[in-house]
Copies of this chain bind each other. A is one copy, B any other.
Amino acid sequence: MSTDTVKAVSVAPPAVKSARARRKNSYLADFGLPLAVLALIIGFAYFVTYVVLSEDRRFLLPPLHEVIRVSFLDADNRAQILEALWRTTVIAMVGLFFSVALGMVFAVVMASARWLERSLFPYAVVLQAIPILALVPLMGFWFGFGFTARVIVCVICSIFPIIANTLFGLQSVEPGHRDLFRLRGAKPGVVLSKLLIPAALPSVFTGLRISAGASVIGAIVGDTYFRQGEPGIGILIDLFRSRLQSEQLFGAIIASSLLGIVVFAFFTWLSRRLVGHWHASGRL
């Protein structure tokens, strides 16, 4: 034990003003640094556009301000993109709703017995690993080529993370907590609502964060194969691509990415609200 080390760690208490300073610091970290990273990425995009790509090839990644100007400042284009985005959003949300509802039920059923897990999990994997493309005519035959089929595609794309993470959450429930309920002879429904669901919630939210993006992709994929009814952003992306409209193409991509981020952010916020007070994963 040397003198120096002790001197080194003689720590003055945080001064009174530090609370405000810390908050300021946290604002900086919460918003400033992420914005700095965003700026960096935008800078990189411009670098690619203007330095890496020769003029002829600039359509591969058009300048961002052009993308914004053409896609979002032009009223017609903006309306077109936002309308299509809205329709995709509806599909994605309906799909996600069913994914969450069905996925959690599926997981709860599987968690209730090992043989059920072993019997059912493989089909969940198949559902996830199956190329949707291959099922298009069959699904079209049953569900038509419109809203229903698109929602189903979205569910297929986004249900598995919910199942896997809910199941993980259910299996991670502390044995001591289970004992507590067993001891008092709690009914399965009560165990579910008062123990299993709350305990699995942080995990479920992780599943939701994965499914957020997956549902958007699912809606876009569904758009691609099932084109009856109102066109969504997937159709628009296809269209812009075949019409070589790079700016609008990237505009549509940005719009659908933002949709993914918004859904993701929503669940992050919800998770902080619901589990932040007791589980670290909720404290972003």
A residues near B, CB below 8 A?
Answer: 29-30, 33-34, 36-38, 41, 57, 60-61, 113-123, 125-126, 128-131, 133-134, 137-138, 141, 160-161, 164-165, 167-168, 171-173, 175, 202-203, 206, 209-210, 212-214, 216-217, 220-221, 224, 234, 237-238, 241, 249-250, 252-253, 256-257, 259-261, 264, 279-281, 283-284
* Supplied contacts A122-B264, A167-B206, 12 more A-B pairs, CB within 8 Å: A33-B118, A128-B214, A128-B260, A129-B212, A129-B259, A130-B253, A134-B253, A160-B210, A161-B210, A167-B281, A171-B283, A172-B281
Q: Is the CB of A130 within 8 A of B257?
A: yes
Q: Is the CB of A120 within 8 A of B216?
A: no
Q: Is the CB of A238 within 8 A of B61?
A: no
Looking at the complex, which one of B37, B115, B138, B212 makes contact with A34 (CB distance below 8 Å)?
Answer: B115
Q: Enumerate chain B residues within 8 angstroms of A250, measured Cβ to Cβ.
A: 134
Q: Is the CB of B119 within 8 A of A210?
A: no
Q: Is the CB of A261 within 8 A of B125?
A: yes
Q: How far is the CA of A87 from the CA of B279 in the complex (A)?
A: 43
Q: Is the CB of B141 within 8 A of A30?
A: no
* This chain: copies in complex: 2
Q: How far is the CA of A168 from the CA of B129 in the complex (A)?
A: 24
Q: Is the CB of B165 within 8 A of A237?
A: no
Q: How far is the CA of A126 from the CA of B265 in the complex (A)?
A: 12
Query: Which residue in chain B gives the minimum CB-CB distance to A92?
Result: B129
- State the Cβ distance, A23 to closest chain B Cβ, in Å: 14
Looking at the complex, which one of B118, B213, B280 makes contact with A128 (CB distance below 8 Å)?
Answer: B213
Q: Is the CB of B131 within 8 A of A168?
A: no
Q: Enumerate chain B residues within 8 angstroms of A160, measured Cβ to Cβ.
A: 210, 213
Q: How far is the CA of A250 from the CA of B138 in the complex (A)?
A: 11
